[in-house]
Amino acid sequence: MRVPIQSVTPDCGQAEIAGWVHEVRDLGGLAFMLIRDRTGIIQVTIPKKKVSEQVLAALKAVSRESVVRVSGPIKAMDKAPGGRELVPEKIEIISLAETPLPLDVSEKVQAELDTRLDARFLDVRRPRVAAVFEIRSAATFAIHQYFHDAGFTSITTPKIVAAATEGGTELFPIAYFDKEAFLNQSPQLYKQMMMAAGCEKVVEVGPIFRAEEHATTKHLNEATSIDIEVSFADHLEVMRILEDLIIKTYEYVDKTCSVQIANIGVEDFAVPKGPFPRLPYAEAIEIAAKKIEDPIKYGDDVSPAAERAIGAEMGGHYFIVDWPSEIRPYYAMQYENDPSICKAFDMMHPRMELSSGAQREHRYDILVNQIKKKGLNPESFEFYLKPFRYGMPPHAGWGLGADRLVMTMLGLGNVREAVLFPRDMHRLVP
RNA sequence: GCCCAGGUAGUGUAGUGGCCUAUCAUGAUUGCCUGUCACGCAAUCGACUCGGAUUCGAAUUCCGACCUGGGCGCCA
């Protein structure tokens, strides 16, 4: 009966373990094999004169990163890592690894990200890499739990859609029988339809696709988005939900993943403090204009340099609110007293944008008007507009980039490190 | 799409016209070694992205292609 390596102690007496051969050190009459599974590493000590022919043959035949099953007595040993070692009665080579390896799992020699992603299955064998995805899993769990507890309905919406519904970003066209179709850039329109469906609070965690030809450390062509929409809520209420979610997620990771955080080498892991400052767009532009060389003025989008300048000033998570209506999508609700700005917001980490959202325009006539003002044709939005004619409550929501959340939480240099099999302009395999 | 920097053994690197039969580390193969823990020692193996040009001579210079990294633009 195989046991996890972490649970092997001198009290076990006898144990059977299975895992990957991390390293072999042959000292002559004595050899050590380090065996690794996802829970830890144990030393298998082989005094050559005292073990069976079968064990000696396996020691000679085995290569690094092969999968083996080893059984034998456990002994307390101060000199061994973890204070215990296994003396094998039997070593079974389950799967022999080819040599040489495409990258060094034991990390004596670092590999470049591109090399690592080409052999991701080997890369993730490294505890510090596995830790990223264990933390991502914990964060995802905390997020689902948060919304479940708050009474949200978790939904899934189509990723194959008929039309470019929002304009702006490039879409991936796909062959859909004899029709033209696209991969969806956002669940935006569908989650709004669910407000008309009376669901009141919905959340979707799923993939979004963008065909933008950007090659940066924070963009992907397939990303994971955490999207919510809430009926009878305004933008202020969903901002409170967002900052609460971020804090609760950090708290959960802090509480349950200390081993992984240490593994990755994050020294300054800190749960962000709420409430996050609400910085009006106009003030954000002023800060940026003072600090960066490129001229930036009211009405411009916030450039990466401006993002960094404002982020340095703010020092932690913050919101940018009250955006000019002209640079936000048609579905953002404008202020009654000043239609030049709207109830839209971005939630920022000092390094980059994590989320954007808004109170949506739910009044049919105004919405149609705003679509027209953006130079779009309301007729091509019929499937989206129809629900607005049959009882649409006021609502607000946001989308949060899960990959960037993990990236900024762990201080990773490249968003690809937070994604198992990232998709970018150049990478479609594995 | 634009700008910049790159492409050398499986991996990570040194090498900017002849000293390159290409450096170092790690690795692989073989041998020695009974307490290693980045074990040690010895031997062996293994690479200049591709095509063209300049030159007596090119890993090194030039041109083109392909690929990679970083920045910008773009980014509901």
Which 3 state secondary structure label does DSSP give A258? helix
Distance between the alpha carbon (CA) of A27 and the C1' atom of B31, Å: 13
Strand B proximal to A255 Cβ, under 7 A: no
pTM over 0.95? The answer is no
**Alpha carbon of A68 to those of A36, A92, A124: distances in Å?**
10, 5, 18
The pLDDT, as a whole number, for residue A164 is 60
d(CA A132, CA A138): 10
Distance between the alpha carbon (CA) of A401 and the C1' atom of B52, Å: 47
The residue among A235, A232, A231, A211 whose CA lies nearest residue A223 is A211
In this complex, the nucleotide whose C1' atom is nearest to the CA atom of residue A87 is B35
d(CA A166, CA A205): 20
- What letters, b where the CB count within 10 A reaches 16 and e where it falls short, cover A52-71? eeebeebbeebebbbbbebb
Contact A274, A243 (CB under 8 A): yes
What's the CA angle centered on A237, arms A190 and A359, to 5 degrees?
45
Within window 401-430 on A, which residues have Cβ closer than 7 Å to strand B?
413-414, 426-427
Strand B proximal to A210 Cβ, under 7 A: yes
Contact A155, A195 (CB under 8 A): no
Question: What single-letter DSSP state applies at residue A22?
Answer: E
In this complex, the nucleotide whose C1' atom is nearest to the CA atom of residue A308 is B71
**Alpha carbon of A84 to those of A11, A32, A259, A300, A430: distances in Å?**
10, 13, 20, 63, 39
In this complex, the nucleotide whose C1' atom is nearest to the CA atom of residue A225 is B76
The pLDDT, as a whole number, for residue A167 is 56
Task: Extract the tokens encoding A9.
Answer: 């102690």
Q: Of all residues in chain A, what percent are helix, strand and coil, respectively (each to 5)?
A: 35, 30, 35
H or E element, residue A309: helix A304-314
Distance between the alpha carbon (CA) of A352 and the C1' atom of B73, Å: 17
Distance between the alpha carbon (CA) of A215 and the C1' atom of B70, Å: 10
**Alpha carbon of A170 to those of A104, A162, A165, A182, A227: distances in Å?**
38, 14, 11, 10, 20
In this complex, the nucleotide whose C1' atom is nearest to the CA atom of residue A115 is B11
CA atoms within 13 A on the CB side of A348: 29
d(CA A32, CA A48): 10
Task: Extract the tokens encoding A42.
Answer: 């144990």
**Taking the alpha carbons of A238, A154, A164, A416 in that order, is the dihedral positive or negative?**
positive
Contact A13, A73 (CB under 8 A): yes
- In degrees to the nearest 10, what's the CA dihedral of A372, A373, A374, A375? 60
The pLDDT, as a whole number, for residue A266 is 86
Bridge partners (DSSP) listed for residue A355: A347, A400
User: Which residues, other chains included, contact A74 with Cβ-Cβ below 8 Å and sequence gap of 6+?
Assistant: A8, A9, A10, A12, A13, A14, A15, A84, A85, A86
User: Which residues, other chains included, contact A60 with Cβ-Cβ below 8 Å and sequence gap of 6+?
Assistant: none
The pLDDT, as a whole number, for residue A69 is 96
ipTM over 0.85: yes
d(CA A283, CA A288): 9
The pLDDT, as a whole number, for residue A165 is 56
Within window 122-181 on A, which residues have Cβ closer than 7 Å to strand B?
166-169
Task: Write the DSSP string, A71-131.
Answer: EEEEEE-TTSGGGEEE--SEEEEEEPPPSS-SS-TT-SS---HHHHHHTHHHHTTSHHHHH
Contact A327, A356 (CB under 8 A): no
Strand B proximal to A56 Cβ, under 7 A: no
The A341-349 sheet, strands edge to edge: A153-154, A201-209, A222-231, A395-401, A352-359, A341-349, A318-324, A278-280
pLDDT by residue, tens only, chain A of 430 residues: 899 999 999 888 899 999 999 999 999 899 999 999 999 999 999 999 999 999 999 999 999 999 999 999 999 988 888 889 999 999 999 999 998 899 999 888 888 999 999 999 999 999 999 999 999 999 999 999 999 999 999 999 999 988 765 555 678 888 889 888 889 989 998 999 999 999 999 999 999 998 888 888 899 999 999 999 999 999 999 999 999 999 999 999 999 999 999 988 888 899 999 899 999 999 999 898 888 877 788 888 888 888 988 998 998 999 999 999 989 989 999 999 999 999 999 999 999 999 999 999 999 999 999 999 888 888 888 888 999 999 999 999 999 999 999 999 999 989 999 999 999 888 888 8
d(CA A28, CA A99): 22
d(CA A334, CA A327): 12
The residue among A185, A187, A220 whose CA lies nearest residue A203 is A187
In this complex, the nucleotide whose C1' atom is nearest to the CA atom of residue A63 is B28
